[in-house]
Amino acid sequence: MFGFGKKKLFEQHQRNLLTCLLFGEFALNSAEESANSDQIEFWETKIGKLRRLQGASLRTGGILDKNDATFVDTFLEKCEATFYESGGGGEKSFEETFAPEVGWEAYLADLKERVS
């Protein structure tokens, strides 16, 4: 299905997208609990863009174009910074909290099947 480089890019892009989505949903829930309308609008917009990128990536073999990959990488860094600035984590790091480990292999297999 993929060469080694493409397989690695596919997995990296999909993992980063999913991590951003998981954090975005967490942040959206927090904004809704505090009734912060600006934050709700911000996170709904970002989650919408991430879902569009996820759909677009599946139409291109699961790999994002350079600009979209840069957006996701930068957004992931901002999500991580926001997580630590807000005092999140405690004993867990950002990656431990939001990295898609549980069910990741099944999710990845499903994506590969949908791309094929």
What are 23-50's pLDDT values in tens digits? 999 899 988 998 889 999 999 999 999 9
96-112: pLDDT as tens digits: 788 776 667 777 777 77
The pTM assigned to this predicted structure is: 0.81
Average pLDDT over the chain reads 83
Cα–Cα distances in Å, from 86 out to 26, 30, 79, 94? 13, 11, 11, 12
Cα 60 versus chain centre, distance: 17
Q: Which domain holds residue 107?
A: 4-115
Domain count, the chain: 1
Better-predicted residue by pLDDT, 7 or 34 = 34
For 56-110, the pLDDT digits (tens) are 887 877 778 889 999 999 999 999 998 888 877 677 888 878 877 666 777 777 7
